[in-house]
């Protein structure tokens, strides 16, 4: 087997991730950030998994004159956003998390790992999506384990600039989710999504994919709706 994405990192980047793992274990009992707390599992299911689209980002960075940016929405204990921030120093990375204690933990990680390129915001994504400072400004908006495609398309799609991408870390259920999710992405201004399979060394047999859709039109002003309406009727239904 070739090198894993973790093995391809520099010593400095790996040291940062080791410190991240120690902070996660130390604070997890109090904050209940994750069920994955065995060091080996943290490496594969949090770090390697977060790094799944790394080549895509490096390729993007090599082909743009912009300072590339990404927003990770519903980042919990900092996944995948802060792992990416540790290995993509050229990127401006904004990690958005609705729960205060999780955002506070992420702020601690940013300080301890000295992630100068990362910013943590304790707010709801659908609120930020309607603010001019954030609306349609990011090259990428990512999410992992936040909700169905339809839900995350609406709460995160308004953050992506035209020409940028929506990414969602998914498993085999994505085909079902796409029955309404593909329409939701279209309403938010995205082209038909593609699925990019990936593997981690912990879960060779798991059927993991990155769902990727390119923004081709501006998101209509009426989206995202307030969360109470999003919850009542998912977009695309
Ligand atoms: C299951 S956790 C996943 C955390 C992380 N992405 C991961 O993969 O480990 C989902 C997180 O999304 C956050 N969240 C849910 N809806 C959100 C929203 N509309 N805006 C910001 N954060 C949200 C929750 O507070 C929670 O921490």
This complex has an ipTM of 0.99
Ligand 1: distance of its center to the CA of 127 in Å?
14
pLDDT score of 24: 96
Distance between CA atoms of residues 135 and 112, nearest Å: 30
Ligand 1: distance of its center to the CA of 2 in Å?
32
| Domains, the chain, ordered by start | 11-232 (3.40.50.150)
What is the secondary structure of 172-188 as a DSSP string?
Answer: TTHHHHHHHHHHHHHHT
Burial of 40 (0-12, 13-18, 19+ CB in 10 A): exposed
pLDDT score of 154: 98
Looking from the CA of residue 72, the nearest atom of ligand 1 is 6
pLDDT in tens, the chain (237 residues): 567 889 889 999 999 999 999 999 999 989 989 899 899 999 999 999 999 999 999 999 999 999 999 999 999 999 999 999 999 999 999 999 999 999 999 999 999 999 999 999 999 999 999 999 999 999 999 999 999 999 999 999 999 999 999 999 999 999 999 999 999 999 999 999 999 999 998 777 789 999 999 999 999 999 999 999 999 999 998
Please tell me if the CB atom of residue 125 comes closer than 6 angstroms to any atom of ligand 1.
Answer: yes
Contact 144, 80 (CB under 8 A): yes
124 known member of a binding site: no
pLDDT score of 37: 87
Tally the C-alpha atoms within 13 A of residue 133's C-alpha that lie toward its C-beta: 5
Nearest residue by C-alpha to atom 2 in ligand 1: 76
Distance between CA atoms of residues 205 and 143, nearest Å: 22
Contact 60, 67 (CB under 8 A): no
Ligand 1: distance of its center to the CA of 73 in Å?
7
Please tell me if the CB atom of residue 124 comes closer than 6 angstroms to any atom of ligand 1.
Answer: yes
Please tell me if the CB atom of residue 168 comes closer than 6 angstroms to any atom of ligand 1.
Answer: no
Ligand 1: distance of its center to the CA of 115 in Å?
21
Looking from the CA of residue 74, the nearest atom of ligand 1 is 12
Looking from the CA of residue 123, the nearest atom of ligand 1 is 21
Please tell me if the CB atom of residue 75 comes closer than 6 angstroms to any atom of ligand 1.
Answer: yes
pLDDT score of 4: 84
Q: Which tokens go with 194? A: 């593609």
Burial of 127 (0-12, 13-18, 19+ CB in 10 A): middle
Distance between CA atoms of residues 164 and 111, nearest Å: 29
Looking from the CA of residue 75, the nearest atom of ligand 1 is 6
């Amino acid at each position: 087997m070739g090198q894993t994405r973790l093995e391809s990192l520099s010593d400095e980047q790996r040291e940062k991730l080791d410190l991240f793992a120690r902070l996660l274990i130390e604070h997890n009992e109090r904050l209940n950030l994750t069920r994955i707390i065995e060091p080996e599992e943290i490496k594969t299911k949090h770090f390697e998994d977060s790094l799944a689209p790394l080549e895509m980002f490096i390729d993007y960075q090599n082909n743009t004159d912009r300072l590339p940016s990404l927003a990770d929405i519903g980042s919990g204990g900092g996944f995948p956003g802060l792992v990416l921030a540790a290995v993509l120093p050229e990127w401006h990375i904004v990690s958005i998390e609705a729960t205060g204690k999780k955002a506070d933990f992420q702020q601690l990680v940013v300080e301890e790992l000295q992630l100068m390129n990362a910013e943590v915001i304790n707010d709801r994504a659908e609120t930020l999506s309607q603010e001019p400072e954030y609306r349609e400004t990011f090259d990428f908006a990512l999410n992992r384990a936040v909700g169905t495609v339809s839900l995350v398309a609406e709460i995160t799609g308004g953050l992506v600039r035209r020409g940028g991408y929506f990414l969602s870390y998914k498993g085999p259920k994505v085909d079902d989710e796409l029955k309404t999710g593909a329409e939701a992405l279209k309403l938010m201004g995205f082209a038909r999504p593609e699925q990019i399979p990936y593997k981690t060394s912990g879960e060779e047999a798991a059927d993991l994919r990155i769902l990727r859709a390119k923004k081709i039109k501006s998101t209509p002003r009426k989206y995202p709706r307030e969360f109470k309406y999003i919850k009542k009727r998912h977009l695309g239904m």
